[in-house]
Amino acid sequence: MELRLRAPLDMHLHLRDGEMLRSVAPLSARDFAGGLIMPNLVPPVTTGEMVREYRASIEEAIGEEKFRPYMTLFFQEEYSYDFLKEVREEILAIKLYPAGITTNSEGGIADLSVERLAPVLEAMSALGIPLSVHGETDGFVMDREAQFIPIYEKLALRFPDLTIIMEHITTKEAVEALFRHENLYATITLHHLSITLDDLAGGLLRPHLFCKPIAKRPEDRTALRKMAFLGHEKVMFGSDSAPHPREKKEASHCAAGVFTAPVALPALAQLFEGAGVLENLQKFVSDNARRIYGITPPDKEVLLVKEKWRVPESYGGVVPMFAGEELEWRVESAL
């Protein structure tokens, strides 16, 4: 049995930099036609020059692979209309991080009031630059995403022409919010479609499944699966693949992030086939993102075959999701 995916896209991807970039970027570039690259490096990507340098590093790391890195800026209150107009052609979106809420977000925004953000968001709206958001408060860990939804709604109402992406949603409340505002969209990860909090901490702690936002309840996963399995036009695939060295995950201060880049398409194919909706995977991993972002990715077809394979225990010292387990589908080739 075969499955052909046209220009699959990963619309939320962490490639890091330095040696880690060189190790993980080829894995995404092998299986995908493009990806939205997150800007939370140290220091964060905040200037046009940094965007160009980071893109060049990614292109060097992936070699001859046919993969387009769609670049982002790390949201700063100081961005002016003139600056954003100048870098518009260099970026696809701007990523907003609440200060200190996740990995390398210390330089994020502390005051998330609409009035404080309005000058930059007005400029983005006028220039057609989508806003990508890590939507969590600093409240109780299971409630952080739900508590952030009123902020999404205020932004959606105040800036109706601004495309707002609710990144890596994890709750049924976030799914419900999508239907209340025409300009709200969302990415959904493989790991949030696959696991609940019980998989992370219900038995022995599994640090390689620890991420932010944390996995939630079964009813939340059900709501996410319903949207993804329908290939609903409001959602698209964003892996939030976030590599950390093994020693940073298997530690007393475990780093947040699940590394899914090398297993994403096979595991998604297995999930969608299990639900009897394999024909909708194309919409979830490509078609919806093309429409939402208005992009034309490289012409690349990825062939998957239904053939069991065992996921390696690590890739360059980074432990992937499903390490040591068998998956039903594997990537055969990319044309």
pLDDT per residue as tens digits for the range 242-251: 999 999 999 9
Do 297 and 7 form a contact (C-beta atoms < 8 A)? Answer: yes
pLDDT < 50 positions in the chain: none
Do 200 and 215 form a contact (C-beta atoms < 8 A)? Answer: yes
pLDDT for 335 equals 80
Strands 93-96 and 72-74: parallel
Predicted TM-score (pTM) of this structure? 0.97
Q: What distance, in Å, lies between the first and last C-alpha atoms of the chain?
A: 18
pLDDT for 333 equals 86
pLDDT for 288 equals 98
The structural domains of the chain, with segments of one domain joined by +, span 8-296
Selecting among 82, 220, 240, 299, the annotated active-site residue is 240
d(CA 16, CA 217): 30
What tens digit of pLDDT does each residue of 137-148 get?
999 999 999 999
pLDDT for 334 equals 82
d(CA 321, CA 262): 9
Whether CATH 3.20.20.140 fits 8-296:
yes
d(CA 226, CA 280): 12
pLDDT for 256 equals 97
Percent helix, strand and coil across the chain, each rounded to 5? Answer: 40, 20, 40
d(CA 17, CA 224): 31
Do 48 and 90 form a contact (C-beta atoms < 8 A)? Answer: yes
Whether 143 sits among the annotated catalytic residues: the reply is no
